[in-house]
Structure 1
Amino acid sequence: MAPRRKYTLGKRAASVAATRQRIIEAAVASYRQQGILGTSMQAVARQADVAAGTVLYHFPTREELAQAVLADLWETLHMPTADIFAGADSLGERVGRLVHALFALYERTTEWGEIYVREKDQVQALVAAEAQFGEAVLALVQQALGPMSADEQAIPVVLTLTDPHNLAALTRTGMSVEAAADTVTEVLLAWLGRRAAVSTVEGD
Structure 2
Amino acid sequence: MARRKYRMDKRAGAAEETRRRIVEACFDLHCQKGIADTTMTEIAGQAGVSVGTVYHHFPRYEDAITACGAHAAAKVPPPGPGVFDGLDSLEDRLKALAAAVFGYFGRLKVFDLIRADRHRYEVVQGFVDQEAAGRLALARAALAPFGAGDRDIHLTAALLDVSVHDELCRAGFTTAEAAQDVAATLYARLKERLAAAPRRRP
- TM-score, L = length of structure 1: 0.87
Taking the TM superposition and a 5 Å limit, the aligned residue runs for 1:108-127 are 108-117=107-116, 119-127=117-125
Unaligned runs of 5+ in 2: none
**Higher Cα Rg: structure 1 or 2?**
1
Which position in structure 1 is the counterpart of 2:149?
151
Which position in structure 1 is the counterpart of 2:184?
186
Which position in structure 1 is the counterpart of 2:128?
130
RMSD over aligned CA atoms reads: 2.1
Which position in structure 1 is the counterpart of 2:25?
26
Taking the TM superposition and a 5 Å limit, the aligned residue runs for 1:37-116 are 37-116=36-115
Asked if the contact 1:142/1:149 (under 8 Å) is kept, the reply is: no
Change (3 A) 1:69 1:95: same
Aligned counterparts of 2:112 and 2:71: Cα–Cα separation in 1: 16
Change (3 A) 1:32 1:167: closer
The number of residue pairs the alignment matches comes to 198
Paired residue type of 1:159:
A
Unaligned runs of 5+ in 1: none
Aligned counterparts of 1:175 and 1:102: Cα–Cα separation in 2: 15
Asked if the contact 1:45/1:55 (under 8 Å) is kept, the reply is: yes
CA displacement, residues 56-115 of structure 1 (integer Å, 9 cap, x when unaligned): 011011111111111111111132122222221222211110101111222222323123
Which position in structure 1 is the counterpart of 2:167?
169
Paired residue type of 2:76:
L
Taking the TM superposition and a 5 Å limit, the aligned residue runs for 1:10-21 are 10-21=9-20
CA displacement, residues 144-177 of structure 1 (integer Å, 9 cap, x when unaligned): 1123355121211101111122223333443333
Paired residue type of 1:43:
E
Asked if the contact 1:45/1:52 (under 8 Å) is kept, the reply is: yes
Percent same amino acid at aligned positions? 33
Change (3 A) 1:41 1:171: closer
User: 3-state SS of the aligned residue for 1:110?
Assistant: coil
Aligned counterparts of 2:196 and 2:100: Cα–Cα separation in 1: 29
